[in-house]
């Protein structure tokens, strides 16, 4: 039974990070209909900013997380201004090509600057907690608590504030949003900033139990796409639930089947769910 709960914990850890990354992706998709393939690279840059500020400048973990969130938010806004905004009237394929271009550019830049080697991010939370027979690393508790609190804050922001509502309004009816005086550029920049900050925080939470390297975003972005397709493109609850489904599937699949197949499980689930419900779990219609 302890082993089972251990897997629940692992599933929650993975799922909360996947959910956080997928949330940023789905927000941008819901509003601008841009599939931001560069989102994984933003995640990677977030991890590097945290790593560099902590290791080279001796900054506190939480301050490093904040710096990474701000830096990646700015970077995401720059991507929107310099790349996606000029392409807003171009055919959709141009956005996709540009997104892949940004991804390659950021990875090459990081590799040129800091090399391709794997690094381990330090964390001040190295204790192992022992609760009811389960061994729980403190960092995992931090990941789960951190990711879910951030999701709750984001939810409140989108639901309760006028500024947050403009993002939802734009996703539900773009023209209607323009006609009440919502500025498209403002919402686009804000959405990219939030999405970048979520990726950076996710990376800083997750990297201590993983590794930091230029290609670290690849598998994650693939899974995040699986998650938002599963959850319904643009759906916020879909991203969170989808993240948890994939997280649990990997944890249990890895344990009860084989860890070799851990990364395939997400994609197998995608095939199964889409053949049963082609529009995704939470989608309310086709865009």
Partner 1 sequence: MLQLNNVEARYGSFKALEQVSMSVAQGELVVLLGANGAGKSTLFNTISGLIKPSAGTITLDGTDVTGLKPSGLVQSGVVQCPEGRKLFPEMSVLKNLMLGAYVHRRDKAAIKKTLEEILALFPILDEKKDQSAGSLSGGQQQMVAIGRAMMGRPKLLLLDEPSLGLAPLVVKQMFETIKGINEQGTTVLLAEQNAFAALKIAHRAYVIENGRLVMEGDKDAMLGNEAIRKAYIGA
Scanning 59-67, 96-104, 142-150, 166-174 for contacts with partner 1 by CB under 8 A, the matching segment is 166-174
Does 85 bind partner 1 (CB under 8 A)? Our answer is no
Q: What are phi and psi for residue 141, nearest 5 degrees?
A: -60, -40
- In DSSP terms, 119 is beta-bridged to 212
The residue among 31 and 246 lying less far from partner 1, judged by its C-beta, is: 31
Does 162 bind partner 1 (CB under 8 A)? Our answer is yes
Size of the chain in residues:
287
The residue among 135 and 161 lying less far from partner 1, judged by its C-beta, is: 161
The residue among 96 and 174 lying less far from partner 1, judged by its C-beta, is: 174
Does 287 bind partner 1 (CB under 8 A)? Our answer is no
Out of 55, 182, 209, 274, point to the residue binding partner 1 (CB under 8 A): 182
Q: How far is the CB of 174 from partner 1 (least distance, A)?
A: 9
| Chain position carrying tokens 């994939």 | 246
Does 165 bind partner 1 (CB under 8 A)? Our answer is yes
Q: How far is the CB of 283 from partner 1 (least distance, A)?
A: 12
- Please give the residue ranges that form the binding site for partner 1 (CB under 8 A): 162, 165-166, 168-169, 172-173, 175-184, 284
């Amino acid at each position: 039974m302890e082993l089972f709960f251990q897997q629940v914990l692992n599933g929650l850890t993975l799922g909360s990070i996947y959910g956080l990354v997928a949330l940023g992706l789905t927000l941008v998709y819901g509003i601008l209909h841009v599939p931001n393939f560069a989102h994984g690279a933003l995640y990677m840059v977030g991890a590097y900013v945290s790593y560099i500020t902590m290791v080279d400048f001796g900054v506190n973990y939480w301050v490093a997380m904040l710096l990474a969130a701000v830096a990646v938010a700015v970077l995401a806004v720059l991507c929107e201004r310099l790349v996606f905004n000029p392409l807003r009237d171009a055919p959709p394929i141009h956005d996709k090509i540009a997104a892949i271009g940004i991804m390659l550019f950021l990875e090459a830049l990081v590799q040129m600057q800091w090399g391709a080697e794997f690094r381990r991010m330090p964390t001040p939370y190295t204790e192992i907690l022992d609760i009811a027979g389960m061994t729980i690393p403190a960092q995992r508790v931090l990941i789960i608590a951190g990711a879910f609190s951030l999701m709750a804050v984001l939810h409140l922001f989108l639901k309760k504030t006028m500024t947050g509502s403009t993002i939802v309004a734009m996703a539900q009816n773009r023209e209607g949003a323009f006609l009440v005086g919502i500025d498209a550029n403002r919402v686009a920049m804000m959405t990219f900033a939030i999405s970048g900050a979520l990726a950076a925080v996710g990376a800083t939470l997750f990297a201590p139990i993983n590794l930091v390297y230029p290609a670290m975003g690849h598998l994650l972005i693939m899974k995040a796409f699986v998650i938002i397709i599963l959850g319904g493109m643009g759906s916020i609850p879909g991203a969170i639930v989808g993240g948890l489904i994939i997280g649990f599937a990997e944890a249990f699949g890895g344990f009860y089947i084989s860890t070799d197949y851990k990364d395939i499980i997400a994609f197998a689930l995608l095939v199964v769910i889409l053949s049963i419900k082609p529009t995704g779990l939470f989608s309310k219609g086709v865009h």
